[in-house]
């Protein structure tokens, strides 16, 4: 794809709003709120964040004047956004009572999207991904983690990762953290040869790491997926290659994935609907972020993760869309925040931090984005809402007045 002209940086100046939510832990309160606040931008960076009355002395022009709420750009820390095809028929089956594992055994699920990805060109995947990322920007998302994992062979996984790399190079798209989802499902050509597939994934990992196509490696560990024993050598190799580790953990059963995550100093364990006390203790001990995926729980009609226990243990909580064609067919992180509040019992403050500061930290971007502080990238959103508590209502697509990404107005 040919990228359009890069966005033009805003000149030095102020972005103002009646309520500025910084998410900066150095400021008072859980969200570091500044009433009648302003953010001073220059060369794509935040220079100062303060009350407007304290910044007007700098004699900087007001570039954007919000009517309600200003926040950091949202950070979606778990997506499968580089997919093609549709699995709408599976949703109909779920509505009729079919379960995730039942659909997968019948040839649906991940293998269904695998067939679509294998048949698609890289250009077709890029086209769909760019459209999807633009729609995410429309909803205030300025940073996105994107996994491969639907190719299930070396050529098709590379095709997905190269499409992600193309989007990553585009200045008008959100900041992207690419992940090689190495163990997602067993492809049909490896039926009955699970050890061979795991060994092949390790070879592919070395190639993808050498090509700079991934910043992290993920694996789906569950009773109908991969085991700790199968995944551990691959994940330890990832660490040796300098890549971060994320894990799909405890979605349908607690198989020890959280303990493995802690032992590998993984950056996140995601899902956690069936994480037990020992798993939660391991996450807390290892400083692993819990990435909660409430849209998937909703779609699958699952009970929520043990949020109170995670909170009590001091495990950092992030919230992500899980954007994927089967269990979370959405591009809306704000919708995931609404579900996290209503279905999981997160407070508005926990929701917003889970989609900003905690999510950014889980992606290794804590010094770059996820909060508004001097030196941070100028990623921010003006919302047509009066308060952050209005943001976690179930809008689906809340009203966005403007999105600034790396100091350029992109929406």
The domain segmentation of the chain, as residue ranges, is 13-73+370-409, 74-362
Q: Mind giving me the DSSP string for 61-102?
A: -EEEE-SSEEEEPEEE-----S--S--HHHHHHHHTT--HHH
pLDDT tens per residue, range 73-123: 999 999 999 999 987 777 777 777 767 777 766 667 899 999 999 999 999
β-pair type (74-76, 141-147): parallel
pLDDT tens per residue, range 240-256: 999 999 999 999 999 99
Q: What does the alpha-carbon distance between residue 164 and residue 291 come to, in Å, rounded to a whole number? A: 21
Rounded mean pLDDT of the chain? 95
Query: Residue 203 CB: number of other CB atoms within 10 A?
Result: 10
Question: CATH number of the domain at 74-362, out of 3.30.365.10, 3.40.630.30, 3.20.20.140, 3.40.50.2000?
Answer: 3.20.20.140
Q: Which helix (H) or strand (E) holds 282?
A: helix 277-286
CATH class, domain 13-73+370-409, is: mainly beta
Output DSSP code: residue 245: E
Q: What does the alpha-carbon distance between residue 258 and residue 276 come to, in Å, rounded to a whole number? A: 9
Same CATH fold assignment for domains 13-73+370-409 and 74-362: no
In this prediction, residue 89 carries a pLDDT of: 76
The CA–CA distances, whole Å, from 146 to 7, 106, 324 equal: 22, 27, 10
Q: What does the alpha-carbon distance between residue 27 and residue 375 come to, in Å, rounded to a whole number? A: 15
Nearest CA among 264, 342, 266 for reference residue 297: 342
Total residues found in the chain within this entry: 411
The predicted model scores a pTM of 0.96
**pLDDT band of 411, cuts 50, 70, 90:** confident
Helix or strand or coil: residue 269? strand
* 319: its two tokens: 């919230």
pLDDT tens per residue, range 137-173: 999 999 999 999 999 999 999 999 999 999 999 999 9
């Amino acid at each position: 794809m040919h990228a359009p002209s890069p966005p033009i940086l805003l000149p030095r100046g102020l972005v103002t709003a009646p309520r500025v939510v910084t998410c900066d832990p150095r400021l008072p309160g859980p969200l570091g709120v500044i009433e009648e606040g302003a953010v001073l931008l220059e060369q794509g960076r935040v220079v100062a964040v303060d009350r407007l009355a304290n910044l007007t002395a700098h004699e900087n022009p007001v570039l954007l004047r919000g009517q309600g709420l200003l926040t950091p750009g949202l950070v979606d820390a778990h997506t499968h956004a580089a997919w093609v095809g549709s699995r709408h028929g599976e949703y109909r089956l779920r509505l009729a009572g079919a379960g995730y594992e039942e659909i997968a055994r019948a040839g649906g699920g991940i293998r269904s999207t695998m067939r679509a990805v294998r048949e698609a060109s890289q250009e077709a995947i890029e086209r769909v991904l760019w459209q999807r990322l633009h729609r995410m920007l429309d909803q205030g998302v300025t940073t996105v983690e994107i996994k491969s994992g639907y190719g299930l062979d070396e050529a098709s996984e590379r095709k997905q990762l190269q499409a992600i790399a193309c989007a990553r190079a585009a200045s008008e798209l959100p900041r992207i953290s690419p992940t090689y989802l190495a163990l997602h499902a067993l492809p049909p050509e490896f039926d009955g040869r699970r050890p061979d597939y795991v060994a092949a994934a390790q070879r592919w990992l070395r190639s993808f790491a050498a090509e700079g196509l991934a910043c992290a490696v993920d694996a789906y560990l569950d009773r109908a997926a991969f085991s700790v024993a199968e995944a551990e050598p691959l994940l330890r190799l990832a660490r040796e290659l300098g890549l971060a580790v994320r894990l799909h953990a405890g979605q349908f059963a607690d198989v020890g994935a959280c303990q493995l995550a802690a032992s590998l100093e993984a950056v996140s364990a995601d899902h956690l609907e069936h994480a037990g006390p020992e798993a939660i203790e391991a996450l807390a001990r290892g400083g692993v972020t819990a990435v909660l995926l409430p849209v998937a729980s909703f779609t699958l009609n699952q009970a929520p993760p043990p949020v109170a226990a995670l909170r009590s243990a001091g495990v950092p909580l992030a919230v992500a869309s899980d954007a994927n064609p089967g269990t979370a067919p959405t591009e809306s992180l704000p919708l995931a925040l609404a579900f996290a509040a209503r279905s999981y019992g997160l407070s508005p403050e926990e929701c917003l931090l889970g989609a900003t500061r905690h999510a950014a930290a889980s992606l290794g971007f804590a010094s770059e984005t996820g909060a508004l502080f001097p030196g941070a990238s100028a990623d921010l959103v003006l919302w047509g809402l009066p308060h952050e508590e209005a943001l976690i209502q179930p809008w689906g697509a809340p009203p966005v007045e403007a999105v600034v990404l790396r100091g350029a107005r992109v929406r």
